[in-house]
Chains A and B, each alone.
Chain A
Amino acid sequence: MNISRRDFNKLVVSGIAGATLGIFGSTADAFAAKNRVVVIGGGFGGASAAKYLKKLDPSLSVTLVEPKAAYITCPFSNWVFAGLKTIGEITQTYAVLAARYGVDVVADTAVSIDAARSTVTLGSGKVLNYDRLIVSPGIDFKWGAIPGYSQSIAETKMPHAFQAGSQTELLNKQLHEMKNGGTVLICPPANPFRCPPGPYERASLIACYLKDQKPKSKIIILDPKDKFSKQALFRKGWDRLYPGMIEWRGAAAGGKVQSVDAAAMTVTTELDVVKGDVINVIPPQRAGKIAVDAGLADASGWCPINAVSFESTLHPGIHVLGDACIAGAMPKSGFAASSQGKLAAAAIVRLLRGKEPAQPSLVNTCYSLLGPGYGVSVAGVYKLSSEGIVEIPGSGGLTPIDASDDQLNQEALFARGWYNNIVNDIWG
């Protein structure tokens, strides 16, 4: 069912009211000055929004606040474990956004947001004024959710590797130092979490490395869930490519992790104590700290938004994108964040001109690689209905379970093309 015109207008009105507050809430020079949009976070959501704001309206003043000089993408970071990508090949910078698109890239941390005054305070003490603010902070981990696990354990013994970079390198180093015949434990969280197929692509590409270099080794996935993303496709691929190497223990098999012991290198589940030579713990998550601190998250730890423009339903004038927001049927993926970033940019350009945003349309496309010539994908096209963001019936879905070897190989090739184009569409 399509959303009615009346319902759509109701959603838009909150956006227009936000625009009004944004303009009249700031000083009298708002009319004279360029409209100012501040973007917090230079990942898939924030960088997409910053680029497309300038592309769609070069007259805007767009400031991107991102403390890191370079962004290492989580998508394709699992490829590092199979030796198919280097960290350098998945590192993006902000040089093109600044030079070609005129985005003011500020290498600083946003430490607080004052929604009433429409200001952002940076680590340096500098205060930025905005007419519209975009918050795209990604995830933070719920440290303390798993007894025995902590940030310092993650940084030394049991990496999560769900924010790419030094964590990816630590896990990769541990895999390279592991003996032939070792056991790798992967412990994914319950839903919702960043990149739902990520832990299972990781198992596949670690197996790809182990089969070649350390074939007596084994991977055990200890999972609190009864099912997982692309499950049938992964299990079929594992049987074909890595028979006997990957064991998945779901909730029914006592896979839920109760605690970990970094000194003993063990994981305690509901049924037993499992010893690992390499242990990858992916803890439960919530919206990035700045979003939680600014009161943009609800009791779930994630941020409710109005899907017309991804404007917060808690603080008008602030838009929340990507993994941090609650986007209905859309998964927490880099692609989804970029789709949301572009939609929000188009909506903000219209809102700042006092016009209604267009009715939203959103997309997700995620490739997972099981081996160098074996790719699978999930696609989704989304619209706004009276129930929020829903997938359009009859569209999207998975690679067919009976896909030919040729199709699987094509998907692996398209995965590479996907990466090149999406990172260029965002940072290039």
Chain B
Amino acid sequence: MPSKLKILLAVCLVSPGVFSASMDAFAAKKKTAKSAKVAEVDPRGQVLALSCASCHGTDGKSSGIIPSVYGKTPDYIEAALKDFKSGVRFSTVMGRHAKGYSDEEIHLIAQYFGTLWGKN
């Protein structure tokens, strides 16, 4: 292995931050146009919300009996999830899911879906 690569690898292994910073700079130079197109979303909110799409449809657009999340406001989604979590609102399966998320995570999910319709 060339020694320069060894050093770079060592730096990356010790400090992912350094690598991230250099890659960010690189990405900014090479892909300005493309990066701008990809929405600036909270990565944690995105990962949490991607799970919801399996039952509620891509971007929360449901094609059947399961309610759509798309088009609802962040406040509505946050309140609904908290009510499912506490059991105030009856559900067959949604309460079992909602209990798996902290209030902070519910907020992130609500922000993700609640602002999607504005972006599309």
Does B associate with A?
yes
Chain A residues proximal to chain B, CB less than 8 Å: 9, 12-13, 16-17, 20-21, 24, 31, 52, 55-59, 335, 338-339, 342-343, 346, 350, 353-363, 365, 377, 379-381, 392, 394-397, 399, 407, 410-411, 413-414, 416-418, 420-422, 424-425, 428
B27 contacts chain A at the CB level, 8 A cutoff: yes
Q: Are A424 and B19 in contact (CB under 8 A)?
A: no
Contact B12–A363 (Cβ < 8 Å)? no
Chain B, interface size category, equals 35 or more
A-B contact pairs, 11 of them (CB 8 A): A9-B16, A21-B9, A58-B37, A59-B38, A339-B50, A357-B43, A358-B47, A365-B97, A395-B98, A395-B100, A424-B63
Return the chain B residue nearest A367 by Cβ. Answer: B93
In contact, B99 and A360 (Cβ under 8 angstroms): no
| Given A359-B44, A365-B97, A381-B99, 18 new contacts (CB under 8 A) | A16-B19, A21-B9, A335-B54, A339-B51, A339-B54, A354-B20, A356-B16, A358-B46, A379-B97, A395-B101, A414-B92, A417-B65, A421-B62, A421-B66, A422-B55, A425-B53, A425-B54, A428-B58
Contacts of A57 in B (CB 8 A): 34, 38
Chain A residues, CB < 8 A from B100? 363, 380-381, 392, 395-396
Are B96 and A396 within 8 A (Cβ)? Answer: yes
- A354 and B55 contacting across the interface, CB-CB below 8 Å: no
Take A339-B51, A354-B19, A421-B66 as given contacts and tell me if A13 and B27 are in contact as well, using a CB distance cutoff of 8 Å.
Answer: no
Cβ contact within 8 Å between A12 and B16 = yes
Given known contacts A417-B62, A417-B66, A422-B55, is B97 in contact with A363 (CB within 8 Å)? yes
Contacting residues, chain A, for B79 (C-beta < 8 A): none
Nearest-neighbour CB distance to chain A for B15, whole angstroms, equals 9
A421–B44 contact, CB under 8 A? no
In the complex, A359 Cα to B105 Cα: how many Å?
12
> A416 vs B55: C-alpha distance in the bound complex, in angstroms?
10
Interface residues of chain B: helix, strand, loop or mixed (majority): helix
Nearest neighbor of A359 in chain B, beta-carbon distance: B44
A residues near B48, Cβ cutoff 8 Å: 361
B88-114 at interface with A (beta carbon < 8 Å): 92-93, 96-101, 105
**A426 smallest CB distance to B (angstroms):** 8
Q: Judging by beta carbons under 8 Å apart, are B97 and A395 in contact?
A: yes
Q: Given the complex of chains A and B, what is the CA–CA distance between A363 and B101 in angstroms?
A: 11
Chain B residue nearest to A406 (CB atoms) is B92
Shortest Cβ distance from residue B108 to the other chain A in the assembled complex, whole angstroms: 10
> Does B34 contact A59, Cβ atoms closer than 8 Å?
yes
Q: Is the C-beta of B86 less than 8 angstroms from some C-beta in chain A?
A: no
Q: How far is the CB of A1 from chain B (nearest CB, A)?
A: 14
Bound state CA distance, A69 and B9, in angstroms?
Answer: 41
A59 and B36 CA atoms in complex are apart in Å by: 11
Chain A min CB distance to B114 (Å): 18
**B94 smallest CB distance to A (angstroms):** 9
**Given A58-B37, A395-B100, A414-B66, are A363 and B46 neighbors across the interface (CB < 8 Å)?**
no
Per-residue A-contact encoding for B11-50, CB less than 8 Å = 1, 0 else:
0110010011011101100110010011000011011101
B37 x A354 contact (CB < 8 A) = no
| Residues in B whose Cβ lies below 8 Å from that of A59 | 31, 34, 38
A413 and B93 form a contact (CB under 8 A)? no
| Whole-angstrom distance between the Cβ of B69 and the nearest chain A Cβ | 11
- A353:B9 contact, CB within 8 angstroms: no
Q: Please, how many angstroms separate the alpha-carbon atoms of A350 and B92 in the complex?
A: 35
Task: Tell me which residues across on chain B come within 8 A of A346, comparing CB atoms.
Answer: 43, 46-47, 50
